[in-house]
C-alpha cells in the first residue's frame, strides 16, 4: 500500500511538473514573439542573454539568499568538463529558438520542433550506439511526413527561420540527453543545474551579443517610443525563462529524455492555438493537417515507447546514454567535500 501511494505521488508530481513546464514554455514563446514582432526588438542574441542573466540571478536568489535549496559543491574541473558542454549546447538551443521566432510564425516553429523525438532517436543511435526496434523507426514516419507537409504548405515560410528551428531540434536532443545524464547519473538537482549552467551561458553569449547586436540595441533605445514598458516586457520574459529553465530540468529529473520530448510535442496544439488567437498568422488547411499528422505521430511514438518499456530487457542490449561507459564517467560530479557533510 505504501509503495502504491509513493508511486501515485511520483506520477502526480511528474504530471504537475509537465503542466507547469507547458505553461511557462507557451508564455515565453508568446512573449518572445511579441518582443520581436510588436516591440520591434529584433535581437535574438540579446534576448537570449537577458534570459540567462535572469536565470543566473534567480538561481542565486533561491540558493544563496532564500536558501530554499542547498548548494551542491562542484569542483572547478567538473564544472568545465561536464557543465560547460551542456551550457554551450543549451545556449545554442535557446538562440536558435529565438532566431526561428524572429523569422517564422509560432505555429510553424512549434511544428518543426516536434521533430525533436526523431533527432533524439537518431542521435542516440549514431553517437551512443543504442539499438531501436523497427517499430520505433516506423513511428517516426508520420512525424517526418507531417513536418514535410507543413513546410510545403506554410504561407509564411522563411528559409532562415526554418533552418534555425531544424537545427534547434538537434540542439534540444543533445541538451536533453546531456541533462538527463547529469541529473540522473550524478544526482544533480534542477535548481543547481540552472545555478551552474546560466553563468556559463551568459559568458558564452555576451561577447557575440555585444559585437553583433550592440549597435542595433542602442539605436533601438533612442528610437523606440516607450522604452520603459518595453523593457518591462523583455525582462518579464527573462523571469519567465528562469521559471522555464527550472521546470525543464525538473521535468527531466522527474521523467526521462524521451518522456520530456514527447510531452513537449503535446503542448504544440496549445501554442499554435494561443499564437493564432494573438497574432492571427495565416494557417492553411493543408498546414493544419500537417501539424495534426505530426502530433498524431508523436502520440504514436510515445505509445510505442511505452509498450516497449513494459517488455523484458534483452541481455546484451545497449543501455541508455546516461549509463557510465568508462572509468572517467564513473567519477562523481559532486565533490568529496559535499559527501562528507
Give the mean pLDDT of 100-124.
82
- 176-228: pLDDT as tens digits: 777 666 655 556 777 888 898 899 999 999 999 999 999 999 999 988 888 88
The β-bridge partners of 334 are: 74
Neighbours of 254 (CB within 10 A): 20
Whether the pLDDT of residue 324 is over 50: the answer is: no
The stretch 36-54 carries a mean pLDDT of: 92
* pLDDT, mean of residues 288-295: 81
d(CA 167, CA 170): 5
**Rounded-to-5 percentages of helix, strand, coil across the chain:** 80, 0, 20
Answer yes or no: is pLDDT of 25 > 90: no
Confidence of residue 329 (pLDDT cuts 50, 70, 90): very low
Residues 45, 212 contacting (CB under 8 angstroms): yes
Q: What is the pLDDT of residues 230-257, one digit of tens each?
A: 999 999 999 998 888 777 767 766 666 5
Query: Mean pLDDT across the chain, nearest whole number?
Result: 78
Task: Compute and round to an integer the Cα radius of gyration of the chain.
Answer: 20
Residue 159 CA to residue 165 CA, distance in Å, equals 10
In contact, 164 and 47? CB cutoff 8 Å: no
Q: What cell numbers appear for 340 in the block? A: 562528507
What cell numbers appear for 79 in the block? 564544472
Cα–Cα distance, 174 to 112 (Å, whole number):
16
Grid coordinates standing for 271?
501554442
Under DSSP, is residue 155 helix (H, G, I), strand (E, B) or coil?
A: coil
Residue percentage of the chain with pLDDT more than 70: 79
Name the β-bridge partners of 74: 334
pLDDT beyond 60 at 126 = yes
Query: Which of these ranges, 141-155, 216-230, 326-340, has the smallest mean pLDDT?
Result: 326-340
Three-state SS string over 157-207 comes to CCHHHHHHHHHHHHHHHHHHHHHHHHHHHHCCCHHHHHHHHHHHHHHHHHH
| pLDDT, tens only, 52-87 | 999 999 999 989 998 888 888 888 887 888 788 888
Res 211: pLDDT: 93
Sorting pLDDT into bands at 50, 70 and 90, what band is 41? very high
Contact 306, 138 (CB under 8 A): no
Amino acid at each position: 500500500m505504501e509503495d502504491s501511494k509513493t508511486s501515485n505521488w511520483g506520477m502526480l508530481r511528474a504530471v504537475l511538473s509537465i503542466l507547469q513546464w507547458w505553461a511557462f514554455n507557451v508564455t515565453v514563446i508568446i512573449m518572445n514573439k511579441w518582443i520581436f514582432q510588436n516591440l520591434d526588438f529584433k535581437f535574438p542574441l540579446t534576448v537570449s542573454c537577458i534570459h540567462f542573466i535572469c536565470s543566473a540571478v534567480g538561481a542565486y536568489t533561491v540558493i544563496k539568499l532564500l536558501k530554499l535549496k542547498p548548494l551542491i559543491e562542484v569542483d572547478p574541473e567538473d564544472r568545465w568538463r561536464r557543465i560547460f558542454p551542456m551550457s554551450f549546447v543549451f545556449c545554442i538551443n535557446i538562440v536558435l529558438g529565438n532566431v526561428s521566432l524572429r523569422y517564422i510564425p509560432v505555429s510553424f516553429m512549434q511544428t518543426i520542433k516536434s521533430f525533436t523525438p526523431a533527432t533524439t532517436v537518431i542521435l542516440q543511435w549514431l553517437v551512443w550506439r543504442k539499438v531501436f526496434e523497427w517499430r520505433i523507426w516506423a513511428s517516426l514516419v508520420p512525424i517526418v511526413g507531417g513536418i514535410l507537409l507543413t513546410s510545403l504548405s506554410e504561407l509564411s515560410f522563411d528559409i532562415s527561420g526554418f533552418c534555425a528551428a531544424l537545427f534547434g531540434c538537434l540542439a534540444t536532443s543533445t541538451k536533453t540527453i546531456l541533462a538527463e545524464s547529469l541529473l540522473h547519473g550524478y544526482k544533480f538537482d534542477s535548481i543547481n543545474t540552472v545555478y551552474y549552467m546560466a553563468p556559463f551561458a551568459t559568458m558564452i553569449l555576451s561577447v557575440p551579443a555585444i559585437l553583433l547586436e550592440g549597435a542595433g540595441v542602442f539605436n533601438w533605445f533612442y528610437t523606440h517610443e516607450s522604452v520603459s514598458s518595453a523593457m518591462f516586457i523583455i525582462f518579464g520574459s527573462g523571469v519567465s525563462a528562469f521559471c522555464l529553465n527550472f521546470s525543464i530540468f525538473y521535468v527531466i529529473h522527474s521523467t526521462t529524455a524521451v518522456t520530456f520530448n514527447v510531452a513537449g510535442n503535446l503542448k504544440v496544439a496549445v501554442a499554435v492555438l494561443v499564437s493564432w488567437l494573438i497574432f492571427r498568422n495565416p494557417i492553411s488547411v493543408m498546414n493544419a493537417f500537417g501539424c495534426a499528422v505530426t502530433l498524431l505521430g508523436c502520440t504514436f511514438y510515445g505509445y510505442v515507447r511505452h509498450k516497449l518499456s513494459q517488455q523484458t530487457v534483452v541481455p546484451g542490449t545497449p543501455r541508455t546514454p546516461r549509463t557510465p561507459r568508462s572509468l572517467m564517467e564513473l567519477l562523481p560530479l559532486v565533490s568529496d567535500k559535499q559527501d562528507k557533510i
